[in-house]
Amino acid sequence: MVGIVGWGSCIPRNRIKVEEIAKVWGADPNNFKRGLGLEEKSVPSPDQDTITLSVEASKRALRRAGINPLDIGAVYVGSESHPYAVKPTGTVLAEAIGATPEVHSASFEFACKAGTEAMFVCLCEVESGRIKYGLAVGADTSQGAPGDALEYSTAAGAAAFLFGRDRVVAEVNETYAYMTDTPDFWRREYEHYPRHAGRFTGEPSYFKHVLGATRGILEKTKKTPKDFTYVVFHQPNGKFPVNAAKALGFTKEQYETGRLVPKLGNTYSGSSPIGLTAILDVANPGDKILMVSYGSGAGSDAFIFTVTDEIKKVQDKAEKTRTMLDENKRYIDYGTYAKYRGKILKAE
Amino acid sequence: MANPAKYWREIPQRYRLEAGKCQSCGEIYIPPRLVCSKCKSRKFEKIKLSDHGKVLTYTVIRTGPSQFADQTPYAVGVVELDGGGRITSQIVDCEFDQLAIGQRVRVEFRRIQKHGQAGILCYGYKCVPA
Amino acid sequence: MRDVAVIGVGLNEKWGEIWEKSLRDLYTEAALNAIDDAGVDHIDSMYVGCMTSGMFVSQEHLGSLMSDYLGQNPVPATRVESACASGGVAFRQGYLEVASGASDIVLVGGVEKMTDVSGDEATFALSAAADMEYECYQGITFPGLYALVARAHMHRYGTTPLQLAHIAVKNHKNGSMNPVAQYGFEITPQGVLDSVMVADPLHILDCSPITDGAAAAVLCPLDLARKLSKKPPVKVLASAQATSTIALHSRKDMTWFDSTAVAAEKAYKMAGKKPQDLHVVELHDCFTIAEVVVLEALGLVERGKGGTTAESGMTALGGKIPVNTSGGLKSKGHPVGATGVAQIVEVTRQLRGESGPRQVKGARVGLTQNMGGTGGSCVIHILEAA
């Protein structure tokens, strides 16, 4: 049996409300609150980045897995805000958790599904027998251009998963990828902010791939939505995952535990993975979980997990995602947000 | 200041709190030393410090060096980790009126410095309320 | 070892932001003033105390530079560094050279030129007196380190920010009578408390400034002093030096300066004096809290009571033991490498009766205490009117 042996997340404390951003740009906050199901989003402190969030999430995963970090054979971080363009985020992460030097690493990029790509590769490496444990992280401190619609949702967070064969808490039953060349959202080399194609990011992009991957994996495994306790979709806003669920036949009870975006924002490569951690924090043995990510450019990765008896032993060994999301919050204003996110032009 | 080798050399201490414990008298040093100040022994055991501790003293820096301008004002303190070892560390994610001598804290991995737009990124330990 | 006397002292006309004068100008001026004051026609050796001419003006090799500019080649010249105690340690080295018999007339000068770099760069240079990798890397500043000491002292002994403010007020009162002082004007306790906070609980007026300046002294064997100089000689009764950890966090007790306590004990023993025998003291008030702890470590006040000393008038000019009659580092200024030697200049003048409105009546025995960093090094001298 191969699957997740430990999981953890890290969400920064700072939050900014949609109203606060709308006030600055003269926009109607209801466009985003009612229209897109967004209320507030997480903001990293100046000393937090994709590397630091990955480290804290990974330490939580290690506490739950209870393994020796030296037994980790690969550390892959998927993000679109890697602090270095050249020098993998995983090199610092692996050093910080004590997994070096006998370990592989690379930075993954596929917009918001870079994290699930990392998960897929770790799974395969463990299945092949080449490594004992693999650490896959989806983490981002994504940026939205000032005044752009994306500024209301781009948030920060990380989810880390250790894959292995012993004391598996969530077995991977099946995976499925659905990917095409769809230019809905991209960032050219050396550009600071990404660009997107407006409404084109909906039906032919998000929905085509999320629905395509879901239908694909259900077909492959001969399952139906009713077979699942939980489902978590990529969540760029509060509405898209709800509409996807409706289109596919999933219920609110199934998607609500993993749908964190109204209070968290879109954590990009952390989006569906952090949703998955929130589910694992409360899941029971026997529960079946479907996770479907989406990365612009574009593609979706689908995973089916079955929770094992092992999960109850480790759920409480580290901080839970919902706790980090709901407690100890610190609200900031737009000026502080702009300062933290480096959006203010300074003399160098 | 922007020397990668000088930064890289201290990574085991800054990332993993690796320290040295005198095998003769038990005194703990971070960073590790070649000779024990207390008993002059030269034999040490490599240990890792705890990531929980208490604040011994603190201050809030209100006029800081320019590289910390975006974080000013910020709190710094001397923290004694459980089981031994003392570090000078920023205390973050904490309202200033919560700072107290004896306050329990836990160590988190954070970015300490950035060497301009194109230089290396320097990481290490900071403390948050436990 | 022979008895040693100070026979000449000198400073620049003014300390402060001295834009027109370079490091070499400042040292040369003070040195010539000391040599003239001594009335000697040659020197055998010289010392240059300076914390970091390299980081401030990108100049090293000060021994060669200053002996050259002083017209003293080929006399041996030695650069001495001990952070903020560079001047005091340079003086001790000069003392030892004369006491040992190796030289007869030795010039000791200290200098720092701090304003050729930006405030930020100056702050960075100063922070090299602390543990660069384990204190400064984390974002602590010098005021921050002393603030940590202040917070611990306040917690344990109940010292208050108002008590610290009184120390700054007392030093400024003395400094207002010192024409060389950078900030030679009086301030009020409320003014200190209202001034901008630098590192809780230290305000900007609790902190010594960034200053350009130099100071110098001429030493010779005591039994040559009357032959060489017309001024009343001042005998060096004791010279003692000690070290402590570089990092504040390495000390068991962060409300104490061990290096000061150890050096003081050695100095009192060597001089055959007790704290109550002192008539005037120049100590290292880089921050107001430093004066608090140093007074305790010198045994001039009971442990924990250092905060009461200025507020009660004990250390005022007319008080039980006048401290920092020059204005201290706070009002006079703190050109790092010069400070230790300037303390010798002040005490020498006091013991000669030359201090004018700042004169401590009947001063016969004085002590100087100069320390580096957060007390990582300390050097103490006791002088007596010969």
> pLDDT tens for residues A290-330?
999 999 999 999 999 999 999 999 999 999 999 999 999 99
One domain for residues B44 and B54: no
One domain for residues B23 and B57: no
SS3 assignment, position B128: strand
One domain for residues C173 and C254: yes
Does B25 map to a domain? yes
Q: What is the average pLDDT value for chain A, to the nearest integer?
A: 97
One domain for residues A64 and A74: yes
Does B5 map to a domain? no
Decide if C123 and B90 are in contact by the 8 Å CB cutoff: no
Give φ, ψ of A208 to 5 degrees.
-60, -45
Does B101 map to a domain? yes
One domain for residues C63 and C145: no
One domain for residues B112 and B59: yes
One domain for residues C375 and C273: yes
| C254 at B interface, C-beta within 8 A | yes
Estimate to the nearest angstrom the gap between the alpha carbon of C190 and the chain centroid: 27
Q: Average pLDDT, stretch C105-114?
A: 98
Q: Range of B41's domain?
A: 17-48
Does C134 map to a domain? no
> Would you list the DSSP string of C217-285?
EEEEEHHHHHHH-SSPPEEEEEEEEEE--SSGGGSS-TT--HHHHHHHHHHHHHHT--GGG-SEEE---
One domain for residues B31 and B56: no
Tell me the per-residue pLDDT of A204-251, one tens digit each, with 9 for 90 and over.
Answer: 999 999 999 999 999 999 999 999 999 999 999 999 999 999 999 999
Does B122 map to a domain? yes
Predicted confidence (pLDDT) at residue C314 exceeds the cutoff of 90: yes
Token pair recorded at residue A87: 């020098």
Catalytic residue of the set C172, C279, C334, C381: C334
Nearest Cα to A13, choosing from A341, A343, A328? Answer: A328
pLDDT band at C230 (very low <50, low <70, confident <90, very high): confident
Q: Which amino acid does the sequence have at A346?
A: K
Considering only CB atoms, which chain B residues are within 8 Å of A328?
93
One domain for residues A223 and A335: no
Q: What is the CATH number of the domain that holds B78?
A: 2.40.50.840
| B82 at A interface, C-beta within 8 A | no
Does A347 map to a domain? no
One domain for residues A179 and A148: no
ipTM of the complex: 0.94
One domain for residues B44 and B61: no
One domain for residues C152 and C241: yes
Token pair recorded at residue C18: 């001295």
| C253 at B interface, C-beta within 8 A | no
* Torsion sign, CA atoms A23, B68, A91, A100: negative
One domain for residues B39 and B72: no
Tell me the per-residue pLDDT of A56-115, one tens digit each, with 9 for 90 and over.
Answer: 999 999 999 999 999 999 999 999 999 999 999 999 999 999 999 999 999 999 999 999
One domain for residues B55 and B31: no
Q: What is the model's pLDDT at position B3?
A: 81
Decide if B57 and C143 are in contact by the 8 Å CB cutoff: no
Does B21 map to a domain? yes
Q: What is the model's pLDDT at position C1?
A: 92
Token pair recorded at residue A19: 């109203």
Tell me the per-residue pLDDT of C67-95, one tens digit each, with 9 for 90 and over.
Answer: 999 999 999 999 999 999 999 999 999 99
Which of B11, B108, B111 is closest, CB to CB, to A56?
B108
Say which residue the tokens 């007339």 belong to.
Answer: C105
Q: Which helix (H) or strand (E) holds C107?
A: strand C106-112
Does A25 map to a domain? yes
Q: What percent of chain C has pLDDT over 70?
A: 100
Decide if A46 and B70 are in contact by the 8 Å CB cutoff: yes
Nearest chain A alpha carbon to B71: A46
One domain for residues A300 and A253: yes
One domain for residues C264 and C369: yes
Q: Which helix (H) or strand (E) holds C127?
A: helix C119-127
One domain for residues A176 and A265: yes
One domain for residues A325 and A280: no
Considering only CB atoms, which chain B residues are within 8 Å of C151?
57-59, 101
Nearest chain B alpha carbon to A85: B118
Interface test with C, best of B6, B11, B57 (most C CBs within 10 A): B57
| A92 at B interface, C-beta within 8 A | yes
| A55 at B interface, C-beta within 8 A | yes
CB contact set of C175 (below 8 Å; sequence gap of 6+): C181, C183, C184, C185, C326, C327, C328, C330, C331, C332
One domain for residues B66 and B34: no
Does B79 map to a domain? yes
Does C274 map to a domain? yes
Q: What is the model's pLDDT at position C182?
A: 98
Does B2 map to a domain? no
Neighbours of C113 (CB within 10 A): 27
Q: Range of C317's domain?
A: 139-207+235-385
Q: Average pLDDT, stretch A182-198?
A: 92
Say which residue the tokens 């948030």 belong to.
Answer: A155
One domain for residues B57 and B91: yes
Which of C124, C150, C254 is closest, CB to CB, to B65?
C124
One domain for residues B35 and B70: no
Does A266 map to a domain? yes
Angle between helix axes C336-352 and C86-99 (nearest 10 degrees) is 60
| B54 at A interface, C-beta within 8 A | no
Give me Rg for the CA atoms of chain C: 19
One domain for residues A29 and A135: yes
Decide if B76 and C139 are in contact by the 8 Å CB cutoff: yes
Distance (Å, rounded) from C-alpha B92 to C-alpha A14?
A: 12
Which of B1, B57, B122 is closest, CB to CB, to C148?
B57
Number of domains in chain A: 2
Q: Range of A156's domain?
A: 3-169+318-340
Residues of A recognised as catalytic: 80, 112, 234
Nearest chain A alpha carbon to B93: A13
Which of A47, A55, A83 is closest, CB to CB, to B92?
A47
Classify the phi-psi angles of A286: left when phi > 0, otherwise alpha if psi is within -120 to 50, otherwise beta: left
Does C372 map to a domain? yes
| C123 at B interface, C-beta within 8 A | yes
Q: Average pLDDT, stretch C149-178?
A: 98
Nearest Cα to A244, choosing from A289, A271, A211? Answer: A211
Tell me the per-residue pLDDT of C251-286, one tens digit each, with 9 for 90 and over.
Answer: 999 999 999 999 999 999 999 999 999 999 999 999
Number of domains in chain C: 2
Considering only CB atoms, which chain B residues are within 8 Å of A83?
111, 121
Q: Average pLDDT, stretch A324-337?
A: 96
| B111 at A interface, C-beta within 8 A | yes
Which of A52, A95, A339 is closest, CB to CB, to B110?
A52
Q: What is the model's pLDDT at position C305?
A: 98
Predicted confidence (pLDDT) at residue B1 exceeds the cutoff of 60: no
Q: What is the model's pLDDT at position A124?
A: 98
One domain for residues A307 and A335: no
One domain for residues A178 and A292: yes
Does C295 map to a domain? yes
Considering only CB atoms, which chain B residues are within 8 Å of C197?
60, 62-63
Q: Which amino acid does the sequence have at A211?
A: L
Q: What is the model's pLDDT at position B2?
A: 62
Interface test with B, best of A10, A14, A47, A56 (most B CBs within 10 A): A47
Considering only CB atoms, which chain B residues are within 8 Å of A341?
none
One domain for residues A17 and A107: yes
One domain for residues B71 and B123: yes
One domain for residues A244 and A106: no
pLDDT band at B65 (very low <50, low <70, confident <90, very high): confident
Instruction: Say what the pTM is.
Output: 0.93
pLDDT band at A200 (very low <50, low <70, confident <90, very high): very high
Give φ, ψ of A56 to 5 degrees.
-65, -40
| A46 at B interface, C-beta within 8 A | yes
Q: What is the CATH number of the domain that holds C226?
A: 3.40.47.10
Token pair recorded at residue C53: 């001419």
Neighbours of C93 (CB within 10 A): 19
Which of A56, A339, A340 is closest, CB to CB, to B109?
A56
Decide if B57 and C124 are in contact by the 8 Å CB cutoff: no
One domain for residues C254 and C355: yes
Say which residue the tokens 């706070």 belong to.
Answer: C330
* Torsion sign, CA atoms A159, A165, A168, A173: positive
Decide if B31 and C133 are in contact by the 8 Å CB cutoff: yes
Does A345 map to a domain? no
The answer to whether residue C334 is catalytic is yes
Which of C127, C135, C143 is closest, CB to CB, to B88?
C135
Number of domains in chain B: 2
One domain for residues C229 and C240: no
Decide if B123 and A51 are in contact by the 8 Å CB cutoff: yes
One domain for residues C75 and C158: no
Interface test with C, best of B11, B54, B78 (most C CBs within 10 A): B78
Strand order in the sheet with A330-331: A40-43, A14-17, A330-331
Q: What is the CATH number of the domain that holds A225?
A: 3.40.47.10
One domain for residues C35 and C56: yes
Which of B30, B66, B88 is closest, CB to CB, to C140?
B88
One domain for residues C156 and C77: no
pLDDT band at A1 (very low <50, low <70, confident <90, very high): very high
Considering only CB atoms, which chain A residues are within 8 Å of B70?
46, 339-340
Considering only CB atoms, which chain B residues are within 8 Å of C139?
61, 64-65, 68, 71, 74, 76, 90, 112
Decide if A55 and B109 are in contact by the 8 Å CB cutoff: yes
Does C125 map to a domain? no
One domain for residues A28 and A137: yes
> What distance in Å separates residue B110's CA from the closest CA in chain A?
5
pLDDT band at A348 (very low <50, low <70, confident <90, very high): low
Nearest chain C alpha carbon to B89: C138
Q: What percent of chain C has pLDDT over 90?
A: 98
Interface test with B, best of C148, C253, C293 (most B CBs within 10 A): C148
Distance (Å, rounded) from C-alpha A269 to C-alpha C35?
A: 73
Strands, DSSP E only, in A63-128? 72-78, 104-108
One domain for residues B31 and B83: no
